[in-house]
Amino acid sequence: MQLNAVVVRRFATAREEATAADRALRDGHPPGLLHGLPITIKDAIDLAGLPTSCGADPPVAPQSTIDALAVARLRAAGAVVLGKTNLPLYASDFQTTNEPFGTTANPWALDRTPGGSSGGGAAAIAAGFSAAELGSDLAGSLRLPAHFCGVCALKPTHGLVPLQGARFGPGALTRDRELAVLGPMSRDVSGLARLFEVLAGPGPVEARGWSLKLPDAMPCPGSRPVALWLDDPFCPPDPAVREGLASLADRLAAAGLRLAGAGPAGFDAQAFFELHCRLMYGELCGELPDDVFAWQQRRASQRKHPVADRLARGLTQSHRDWLAARERQATWRLRFEAFFSEWRLLLCPVAPTVAPPHDSTRLELREQPLGGQPAPVLQHMSWLLPASTLGLPAAVVPAGLDPDGLPYGLQVIGPRFADRDVLAMAAWIEQVRGPMPEPIWSDAGYRSHARPDHAA
């Protein structure tokens, strides 16, 4: 079985660009921060001269005429784009499969999903095909694949990376999304930090009036205490994941980090899950064709399936209901600001399980065990939602392997605009953790195991 990670390829052009980058160095030209770095782009983000499929057939943009602004920044810094990576239809699933390109596999186990929606990028990085990826994150689409594939990811503070040229549905939007961000994935945290410094900053219009000045990172491990939150009854981690994260936390404490068990006061994960769904579906409903919206209105009153009903009610909610959700969002932002006045950062799981097997069931009907009981797979995204809903920066750093040899990650969440501090802590955790094994199905693993199905 192929990984099927890089589905739109520009390998010949990339070789020419890499040769030109080598020539520029020989001629004495100063290198950019990403000079010669081979990267991939999620196929929901425009790259000039190539289609943007967003997992659809026909593609949402048959041929992009210009690079997305974030892509242009990466290329201007010297990055060499190898191609575009697979994703689910309209970037709207936690696994990576679609009609035109098929299913992407996880390099750690081909029968497992790499996650979604930036699953193709995570698989490509884990397999050694790419050094980094530009992806997107609305409800964990960068962080969940990083967790499942044993790579690093950063969801920046909302608004720091311009969204121009990113597509999340069948139509092109000129407005910014309330929850979505673009951000990097990489094999290590230092790669995330370099890409972030290139990506962050106002767009051309905004730059007329403001510039970006983020606070510097604090020393690590530092003197300010860090909160550790490893369990919640609404989304309890599997024992292997929780025990592995607790073991890593013990090592961090032994290395000097001031850790204490604490979650945000009064936090109700189930209520927060409902809040995020209200906000997210309220964003998505404007892109639905009229006939689909009418169908969702009919389904909202049928009460046939709890999760599907919630989806339909969220997509067809009144503007008044959406504004009420926005008010709850603002209240929680203030509560998290108060929390971070006491705690430097928050360490918590990314997801309750390691990568599950591929599952073709529709997302709203799909189930996966949680705490030993069947549960909607959407409930598994609960640990991802505080950062998404509140626009907080959050990094994922691989934390270890479960007894079956599958990776899991640790999430580092900070207050808004503390992206550099989040990255500094993630880099320090990476150092304390030490080297991670390579997946069996990787560039290194392929040479060792001589697998005949090696393909991008």
pLDDT value at residue 287: 76
* CATH number of the domain bearing residue 68: 3.90.1300.10
pLDDT value at residue 308: 76
Residue 121 lies in a domain: yes
pLDDT tens, position by position, 274-333 = 999 999 998 888 777 788 888 888 888 777 777 777 788 888 999 999 999 999 999 999
Residue 270 lies in a domain: no
Structural domains of the chain, count: 1
pLDDT value at residue 201: 98
Mean pLDDT within 117-128: 97
The percentage of the chain sitting over the pLDDT mark of 90, rounded to a whole number, equals 84
pLDDT tens, position by position, 134-191 = 999 999 999 999 999 999 999 999 999 999 999 987 766 667 788 999 999 999 999 9
Question: Going by C-beta distance under 8 Å and a sequence separation of 6 or more, which residues neighbour residue 132?
Answer: 37, 39, 40, 79, 125, 184, 185, 186, 187, 191, 195
pLDDT band for position 454 (50/70/90)? very low
Residue 195 lies in a domain: yes
Residue 318 lies in a domain: no
Residue 319 lies in a domain: no
pLDDT band for position 442 (50/70/90)? low
pLDDT tens, position by position, 385-440 = 999 999 999 999 999 999 999 999 999 999 999 999 999 999 999 999 999 998 97
Residue 308 lies in a domain: no
pTM above 0.75, yes or no: yes
Residue 333 lies in a domain: no
- Note down the domain range covering 57: 6-262+343-449
Residue 282 lies in a domain: no
Question: Going by C-beta distance under 8 Å and a sequence separation of 6 or more, which residues neighbour residue 123?
Answer: 3, 5, 85, 96, 104, 105, 106, 107, 114, 145, 149
pLDDT surpasses 60 at 456: no
Using alpha carbons, select from 162, 175, 198 the residue that is nearest to residue 69. Answer: 162
pLDDT surpasses 70 at 334: yes
